[in-house]
Amino acid sequence: MAYDLVVIGSGPGGYVCAVKAAQLGLKVAVVEKRSTYGGTCLNIGCIPSKALLHASEMFSHAAHGMGDLGIEVPAPKLNLEKMMAHKDATVKSNVEGVSFLFKKNKIDGFQGTGKIVSAGKVSVTGEDGKAQELETKNIVIATGSDIAGIPGVNVDIDEKVIVSSTGGIALDKVPEHMIVVGGGVIGLELGSVWMRLGAKVTVIEYLDTILGGMDGDVSKQFQRMLAKQGMAFNLGAKVTAVEKTGTGAKVTFEAVKGGEAQTLDADVVLVSTGRKPFTAGLGLEEAGVALDNRGRIEIDGHYKTNVDGIYAIGDVVKGPMLAHKAEDEGVALAEILAGQHGHVNYDVIPSVVYTQPEVASVGKTEEELKAAGVAYKVGKFPFTANGRARAMLATEGFVKILADKETDRVLGGHIVALGAGEMIHEIAVLMEFGGSSEDLGRTCHAHPTMSEAVKEAALGTFFKPIHM
């Protein structure tokens, strides 16, 4: 059968692209090597980790957060097997949802490993080794990313003692000590899960700050919050070895600026040093598809590779490795292939760290504006001055808004708070419409809400906040 579009990969980028293209009238097929749809995100990434984050937060809240509200309960008992069952049920529900969307939109799904034979032809090899060939006008590569490992260090990840995020969401017992190599989003999220469930957690990070490219104010203050919760940090530290021992594993590291090597022992080591594009076995070299110096597929402004009829989106191309960025690219590309004018505004892509409190960001950081020589102004407002936050005992954190000094146009927003990931979107919508901090500050916000802190930060950006 001939298709208008064959998508290789059914993660957020691939399945959303397929659904949108089908909605626009194209005949679509999807090739997926897993037995279930949804890619890394739905199966072993975003979705299961959020199930564990929520469950561990509830456990911690029951243990430490209810007495001050006048609720006296006995110490909670952890049933890790049941918590993992909740995670698995969440995954099952989501992947089945993607299957339903494929059926609803008459998308043909092919289970097996996809390979580009040439422009217009994709072969699919099943588990039985048999291959079939699909003919198509267009091919979309949406194969996502894989764990990157530690540069220059040979690590044997067994997903039991030395684990990636895949093993990090599936431990059968709470480790006494977990070492997290990498202070980025994945490491801090999964580290916080096991810390709340009773593990001692130590983070070893190459940079001098956690959360890499986040706003400096955010990373410094957030690190203090995590340290207060019990998470230990070794920053500016280069890992030189990760090895199994008789009782667990050990990590050897030294200061990036020079110094004596140190070794720490742990029951479990989580390697979370980032991800790399997954392009192996796709036949890209044979098809003549060009990669850049970081192994990403090169594309033009319309997601087209250097080969006519072959496109790429998501983690395999430039830009942040975020599920929602891949989704928006999938929609834009489907629209382009259907003769419309798909577009993604890369200046307004929010990112969220789903710890407690959450960290959310959109647009530019203060450091980026300084580096670009942009004249800007800053408004900040702490949740200690927010009535709803006080009522909920959730006063940790702040809102920070950055706006152009001359035009007042909002260039970035950063929130550390309970529910920050939900609050960031009003700043994102404002930025999509080119709004100013005064526009946001003059928008009536319901009282009492956590979101009033966003309004107050905006008031502080263009003039003065009321409640400070």
3-state DSSP helix/strand/coil percent for the chain, to nearest 5? 35, 25, 40
**Side-by-side strand order, sheet with 262-266:** 237-244, 249-255, 262-266
**Looking at 64, 302, 425, 447, which residue is catalytic?**
447
Q: Which residues are annotated as a binding site for FAD?
A: 50, 114, 143-145, 315, 321-324
All residues at 6 or more sequence positions from 103 whose CB lies less than 8 Å from its CB, including other chains = none
Residue 230 gets which letter from DSSP?
T
If 0-12 CB within 10 Å is exposed, 13-18 middle and 19+ buried, where does residue 34 land?
middle
Element (H, E) at 430: helix 420-432
Q: Which residues are annotated as a binding site?
A: 50, 114, 143-145, 182-189, 205, 274, 315, 321-324
Q: Which residues are annotated as a binding site for NAD(+)?
A: 182-189, 205, 274
All residues at 6 or more sequence positions from 94 whose CB lies less than 8 Å from its CB, including other chains = 38, 42, 47
d(CA 256, CA 199): 27
447 is catalytic: yes
> Which tokens go with 56?
């561990």
Is beta strand 398-404 parallel, antiparallel or unpaired with respect to 376-382? antiparallel
Q: What is the CA radius of gyration of the chain?
A: 23
Identify any residues that bridge with 134 across adjacent strands, giving them in sequence order: 122
All residues at 6 or more sequence positions from 293 whose CB lies less than 8 Å from its CB, including other chains = none
d(CA 379, CA 93): 41
Is beta strand 358-363 parallel, antiparallel or unpaired with respect to 351-353? antiparallel
Active site residues: 447
